[in-house]
Amino acid sequence: MSDISLNKDELLEKIESLTAQDHEKILKTFKHYLTSEYAAFLNTCAHCGLCADSCHYYLTDKDPKSIPAYKLKLISKIFNSTFDLVGKRFPALVGAEKLSNKMIKEWVDTLFGRCSLCGRCTINCTMGINIPYLIRAARGALASVGIVPLGLQSTVNTAVNKGNNMGILKEDWLETVEWLEEELQQDVQNPEAKLPLDKPGSRVLYTINPREAMFFPLSITAAGKVFYAAQESWTFSSENFDVTNYGLYNGDDEAAGILSSRLIDTMHALDCRELILAECGHGYNSNRWEAPEWLSREYGAEVKSILQLIADYIREDRIKLDPSKNGEVVTLHDPCNLVRLGGMVEEQRFILRHCVANFVEMTPNREKNYCCGGGGGQLSMTRFAERRIQAGRLKAEQIEATGAKIVATPCHNCIDQLMELNKHYKLDIEIKTVTEIVADALIIPA
Amino acid sequence: MPEIEVKGQQFELNQEGFMLEPQEWDEDIAMVLAKTEEGIEELTPDHWKVIRYIRGYYLEKNVAPMVRKVCKNSGFQLKYIFELFPSGPAKGACKLAGLPKPDGCV
């Protein structure tokens, strides 16, 4: 695996051209992210090493640069040389080091290239240090001077400039919805079945991950079928339908705020009561938990995952399910942003137990689950793709050990990574969203 | 950087097998990518129908077409597109048509 420093490319050339003024801006932005709690975390590491065996990067490459404590050290070195009195005067005493272009290269290689912000190190840290938060802050500091790996930054730019992260045109989105509506009508044999658009006063505003509309539309029809069966009052927006927020990954709070505010504002403009987030791990974490911070305001409405909605349908007997329709062995992958970082742990299990005949857990699971390797923007950063596939080896082994033929996961980002792991590690599995599995189990009254 | 050899000439790919210089694409390259990236030994007329449509759309609009357009234009069902290209429309069909990697969760 080649080190970033050996590759000649545009990002490295850009780093070489950074000036002292740029360095100041990086430090200023980084300081802006640091509350006293996080500043304290920077020098709290007891070097116990427990984090090493929690990280899917270190466990698969055994490179000391992949140890979370090492990643943290890269950040605290700079912090100490800039903001710490002892570090300023006697840098060697506290391992302080001045920010340099060489160090920025190492930040890019390690903080973008060896971390999926999955948070597994934090739950294994004896001091409870929120390492991913600090890594995100460092990424955001680099983003302030335009130092972000290409695919990640272009995904943020496309979302901010074109309204969704794949640059789907409104007319193409409308054409796709019309097509999927016809498919739904055939499926449920009712010409009145709808995928409503911009319907004011609907109870629910539903969102999607743009890759569903662009390349993998079966999950959209599946959600439509579940809403149809539950007789939900719901709508899509013709403009703001994108649940994703890659501002979480490049650390740019301003961009992140712009993206989340579109959904909230659309919900209020359409006079909907609940914003329902599609199966998207980081979209849930961003819009449910982080966005009120980015926007410095309260929503004044409910923001939920579609999993919560479906679990309610089951509890309230609004949908009928036949688990024998999903006879294969099914296991569940827990997306880090939804489960470990988002707190949504049991709803997906409750749903699956009602929809499949043979559900098995992988080990470890829930908040202890391993990242698939695709999170933290890794899927979009092609320069680190080989490491991403290697870091996914643990997930591949977990899946194989279950003997499952179908892996359910409530996250489209995880799905793409699992599809690649399936191909690379020859797992011979099928990967589905939870909603697709629910739709397959539905009994539609004639 | 990974490379492929087509008729004695080397072409650079990114770490995910997408062409680094999409304008260098030709149908010989597609045939080699089909084998190395998708494990397809021989491209059938149905594969070509999809690949040529995607390539033409990309040259005209500088983006990949949505799968709706691919189905409509080819007359194929969605399920059949996934049978033709097991990695799906993005990492299968678009990659073979020499498009750059799309933004987003792919």
Give A386's contacts in chain B (Cβ within 8 Å). Answer: 15
Out of B63, B89, B103, the one facing A215 most closely (by C-beta) is: B89
Q: What is the pLDDT of residues A317-327, one digit of tens each?
A: 999 999 999 99
Fold (CATH) for B3-96: Arc Repressor Mutant, subunit A (1.10.10)
Residue of A177, A207, A214, A245 to mutate, interface with B, max B Cβ within 10 Å:
A214
Note the helical H segments in A115-217.
120-123, 131-143, 150-162, 170-188, 210-214
Residue of A215, A246, A390 to mutate, interface with B, max B Cβ within 10 Å:
A215
Give mean pLDDT, residues B54-75. Answer: 97
- Whether B79 contacts chain A with CB within 8 A: no
pLDDT at residue A8 in the model? 54
Q: What is the pLDDT of residues B77-91, one digit of tens each?
A: 999 999 999 999 999
DSSP three-state, residue A275: strand
The answer on pLDDT for A289 being more than 60 is yes
Q: What is the pLDDT of residues A87-137, one digit of tens each?
A: 888 888 888 899 999 999 999 999 999 999 999 999 999 999 999 999 999
From the list B37, B35, B76, the residue with the least C-alpha distance to B54 is B76
In the numeric block, which tokens belong to residue A208? 């999607």
pLDDT at residue A115 in the model? 98
Q: How far apart are CA A224 and CA B7, in angstroms?
A: 49
The answer on pLDDT for A2 being more than 50 is no
> For domain A4-147, which CATH number applies: 3.30.43, 1.20.81, 1.10.1060, 3.30.420?
1.10.1060
Confirm if A265 and A277 have CB atoms less than 8 A apart: no
pLDDT at residue A146 in the model? 97
The gap between the terminal CA atoms of chain B, to the nearest Å, is 20
> What confidence tier does A6 reach under pLDDT thresholds 50, 70, 90?
very low
The verdict on a CB contact (< 8 Å) between A211 and B66 is no
Q: What is the pLDDT of residues A40-64, one digit of tens each?
A: 999 899 989 999 999 999 999 999 9
- Whether B31 contacts chain A with CB within 8 A: no
> What confidence tier does A5 reach under pLDDT thresholds 50, 70, 90?
very low
DSSP three-state, residue A145: coil
B58 half-sphere exposure, CB direction, 13 A CA radius = 21
Mean pLDDT over the full length of chain A: 95
Q: What is the pLDDT of residues A367-387, one digit of tens each?
A: 999 999 999 999 999 999 999
Report which residue type is found at A341: L
Out of B86, B87, B102, the one facing A166 most closely (by C-beta) is: B102
From the list A33, A9, A10, A15, the residue with the least C-alpha distance to A100 is A15
Report which residue type is found at A251: G
Polymer length of chain A: 446
Give mean pLDDT, residues A248-253. Answer: 96
The verdict on a CB contact (< 8 Å) between A210 and B14 is no
Out of B90, B103, B105, the one facing A209 most closely (by C-beta) is: B105
Q: Do domains A4-147 and A323-441 have the same CATH topology?
A: no
Closest Cα of chain B to A377: distance in Å? Answer: 8
pLDDT at residue A4 in the model? 41
Calculate helix-pair angle for A347-355, A434-441, nearest 10 degrees. 30
In the numeric block, which tokens belong to residue A107? 């930040």
A177 half-sphere exposure, CB direction, 13 A CA radius = 23
Closest Cα of chain A to B92: distance in Å? Answer: 11
Longest alpha-carbon distance in chain A: 79
- Whether B105 contacts chain A with CB within 8 A: yes
Out of B88, B101, B103, the one facing A216 most closely (by C-beta) is: B88
The reply to whether CATH 1.10.287 applies to domain A323-441 is: no
Give mean pLDDT, residues A9-23. Answer: 95
The answer on pLDDT for A70 being more than 90 is yes
From the list A77, A144, A138, A130, the residue with the least C-alpha distance to A112 is A138
The answer on pLDDT for A219 being more than 50 is yes
The answer on pLDDT for A147 being more than 70 is yes
Domain boundaries defined on chain A = 4-147, 156-315, 323-441
- The whole-angstrom distance between residue A446's C-alpha and the CA centroid of its chain comes to 39
pTM: 0.96
Give mean pLDDT, residues A132-152. Answer: 97
Q: What is the pLDDT of residues A300-314, one digit of tens each?
A: 889 999 999 999 999
Would you call the peptide bond into B102 cis, given omega within 30 degrees of 0 as the criterion?
no
Confirm if B64 and B100 have CB atoms less than 8 A apart: no
The verdict on a CB contact (< 8 Å) between B101 and A167 is no
Domain boundaries defined on chain B = 3-96
CB atoms within 10 A of CB A46: 11
Q: How far apart are CA B77 and CA B75, in angstroms?
A: 7
The answer on pLDDT for A3 being more than 50 is no
Give mean pLDDT, residues A138-157. Answer: 97
> What confidence tier does A68 reach under pLDDT thresholds 50, 70, 90?
very high
Confirm if A278 and A223 have CB atoms less than 8 A apart: yes
